[in-house]
């Protein structure tokens, strides 16, 4: 992916992109729940799933905020260089 495509994926707030991003992160959270990453096998499956899906989407929110601050600078630097 190019910097601009990453910028659009993480920062651009089109409804469809937000749904795709949330679905991707939720599927990855489901994967982490199934494989019981970081010894979360002690939790019941439903709690483990909710926990991982929540963690992934919460991290996606912070990534979106961080990308909004950094990607414009990276794109400008890449244009000049």
DSSP track, the chain:
--HHHHHHHHT---HHHHHHHHHHHHHHHHHHHHTTGGGGGGS-HHHHHHHHHHHHHHHHHHHHHHHHHHHHHHHHHHHH-
For the cut 90, the answer to whether the pLDDT of residue 67 exceeds it is no
pLDDT tens per residue across span 18-50: 888 899 999 999 999 999 888 888 999 999 999
**Average pLDDT for the chain:** 87
**What is the pLDDT at residue 52?**
94
User: Which is more confident, 32 or 13?
Assistant: 32
Calculate what percentage of the chain has a pLDDT beyond 70.
Answer: 98
């Amino acid at each position: 992916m190019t910097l601009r495509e990453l910028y659009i994926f993480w920062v651009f707030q089109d409804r469809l992109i937000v749904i795709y991003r949330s679905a991707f992160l939720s599927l990855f959270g489901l994967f982490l729940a199934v494989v019981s990453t970081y010894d979360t096998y002690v939790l019941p499956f439903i709690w483990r799933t909710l926990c991982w899906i929540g963690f992934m989407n919460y991290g996606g929110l912070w990534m979106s905020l961080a990308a909004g601050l950094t990607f414009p600078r990276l794109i400008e630097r890449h244009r000049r260089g």
